[in-house]
Amino acid sequence: MENPNENLSPEELEQRKEEMKVFYDTSVPYLESQLKYEELLTNVEEARFKRANFQYQWQMLMAQTAMQEEDSKEEDQKETSSKPPKKTKLKRT
C-alpha cells in the first residue's frame, strides 16, 4: 500500500498536519467527557461488586451460624437421650 503523504508537496503536507491538529484539538473535549463517563461507570461497577461480595459473605456467615446452632442442638439431644431414664419408686401402702 502506498503512503499518500509521499506524493504531497511540503505546503500540502503542512496543510494536512494543521488539519489533523485542528481535528485532534476539537476532539479532546469529547474524549475528556468520555473518559470521565467511563471512570464513573467503573466506580459504579466496583461499588456493585463490593456490595454483592458483602452480601455473599453475610449469607455465608449466617449459614455457618445456623449450622453451628443445629449441631449444638443435635449434641444436646444426644446427651439427653443417652442418659438412662430415672427410675421412679412407688410407695407401698
Radius of gyration, alpha carbons of the chain: 39
pTM for the model: 0.53
Q: Which three cell numbers stand for residue 45?
A: 461497577
Residue 53 lies in a domain: yes
Ordered DSSP codes for 38-70: HHHHHHHHHHHHHHHHHHHHHHHHHHHHHHHHH
Residue 84 lies in a domain: no
Query: What pLDDT, on the 0 to 100 scale, is given for residue 84?
Result: 61
Query: What pLDDT, on the 0 to 100 scale, is given for residue 57?
Result: 96
pLDDT tens-place values along the chain, 93 residues long: 456 557 889 999 999 999 999 999 999 999 999 999 999 999 999 999 999 999 999 999 999 999 998 888 877 777 766 666 667 777 776
Query: What pLDDT, on the 0 to 100 scale, is given for residue 2?
Result: 54
Domain residues for the domain of 67 are 8-73
What is the tally of structural domains in the chain? 1
